[in-house]
Amino acid sequence: MSLFQQTLGRHVDLSDAEKILLSRFEQCPQIAGKHQMLWRPRAKVGELFILQSGWACSIRCTADGEQQVIELLLPGDIIGLREFTFGRHVSEASMVTRGTIQPFHHENIVDVIAASTPLAIALFATISRQEALLTERMLITLHRSARSRLLHFMIETFFRLDKVRHVTLAAFDFPVSQRLLGSILGLSAVHINRILKTLEQDGILKKFRGHIEVYDAKQLFEEAQFDRDYLGDEMDGLKQRLAQLQLGAASANGP
């Protein structure tokens, strides 16, 4: 099963027909270089991308040339999902590392929604989870210290990675520069550096160029006050109704 099917399949059970529908999106994979821009701000919304490998982010560029990172995108994520109903992009998107992307036209999402209610719901669940990530980040930004924010972001990213492909907390890849961390968390790169230094001194973790080593997971989670609830994939309340709908459709179309 492909990464994309796996991602949407976290929310609903996919039939063979639906897998075929999705496989149409997974053609023409492309290599995207580090820092490659995927669309320009204010460009008409057209191509979206499934991120197969590598990390990406969406960015807002302010009038005074500052770069503000909106979200970090990991393998399995759809780049641009948040804006596919807009006429024009309000953000720009670019690769954080080199990676593989599969472009598709935003109109194709409409076709999928029209063709399969379960997939439509799965897409809703996907965008809702994305919004939940954003909500959590906003609340934490508003109410916690820089150190707690940084720790929380590292744990969140670890869990998101772990869902896609098993990684270990003790040591995992984390190709995000201190400057980029600052842009994501709304802190200066200087301050990020100071925090990282104290984290190392306190024996909690060490970020060493492209990866993180965690020395004291217990204290890490304690300080970050991490609550996994918002990362859940389950959709219990709706699966039942989807099953009813499919039964109804089957009997209507049946012999």
Partner DNA sequence: CGTACCTTTGACGGCTGTCAAAGGAAGTGG
Partner DNA sequence: CCACTTCCTTTGACAGCCGTCAAAGGTACG
Q: Binder to its own copies among 31, 222, 234, 247 (CB under 8 A)?
A: 234
- Residue 104's SS3 state is strand
Residues 109 and 131: their CA atoms lie apart, in Å, by 18
Binding mask 146-185 for its own copies (x = CB under 8 A): ---------------------------------------x
What are the structure tokens assigned to 250, written together?
């089957």
Task: Give min distance, CB of 240 to its own copies, in A.
Answer: 8
Which of its own copies, DNA, none lies near 123, with the C-beta cut-off 5 to 8 A by kind? its own copies
Task: Give min distance, CB of 114 to its own copies, in A.
Answer: 4
Q: Binder to its own copies among 8, 73, 93, 125 (CB under 8 A)?
A: 125
Which of its own copies, DNA, none lies near 188, with the C-beta cut-off 5 to 8 A by kind? DNA
Q: CA of 171: how far to CAs of 202, 217, 238, in Å?
A: 17, 11, 37
- List the interface residues with DNA, window 91-120 (CB under 7 A): none
**Which is it for strands 78-79 and 47-53: parallel, antiparallel or unpaired?**
antiparallel
Q: Binder to its own copies among 121, 154, 180, 199 (CB under 8 A)?
A: 121
Task: Give min distance, CB of 57 to DNA, in A.
Answer: 13
Q: Binder to DNA among 50, 121, 125, 187 (CB under 7 A)?
A: 187
Taking every pair of C-alpha atoms in the chain, what is the biggest distance, in angstroms?
Answer: 71
Cβ-based nearer residue to its own copies, 186 or 210: 186
Contact flag: residue 170 with DNA (CB under 7 A):
no
Which of its own copies, DNA, none lies near 242, with the C-beta cut-off 5 to 8 A by kind? its own copies
What are the structure tokens assigned to 246, written together?
């499919």
Residues 39 and 93: their CA atoms lie apart, in Å, by 6
Contact flag: residue 186 with its own copies (CB under 8 A):
yes
Question: Taking a C-beta distance cutoff of 8 angstroms, is the pair 204, 164 a contact?
Answer: no
Alpha-carbon torsion, ordered 176, 31, 7, 158, to 10 deg = -20
- Tokens 């219990």 belong to which residue? 236
Task: Give min distance, CB of 224 to its own copies, in A.
Answer: 13
Using left for φ > 0, alpha for ψ between -120 and 50, and beta otherwise, residue 239 falls in: alpha
Which has the closest alpha carbon to 219: 142, 128, 155?
155
Q: Is the dihedral of CA 177, 179, 180, 185 positive or negative?
A: positive
- Tokens 């270089």 belong to which residue? 33
**Which is it for strands 30-32 and 56-61: parallel, antiparallel or unpaired?**
unpaired
Contact positions toward DNA, by CB under 7 A? 145-147, 177-180, 186-191, 193-194, 196-197, 209
Q: Which residues bind its own copies (CB under 8 A)?
A: 11, 44-46, 60, 62-63, 66, 68, 70, 82-88, 90, 106-107, 110-111, 113-114, 117, 120-121, 123-125, 127-128, 130-132, 134-135, 137-139, 141-143, 185-186, 225, 229-230, 232, 234-238, 240-242, 245
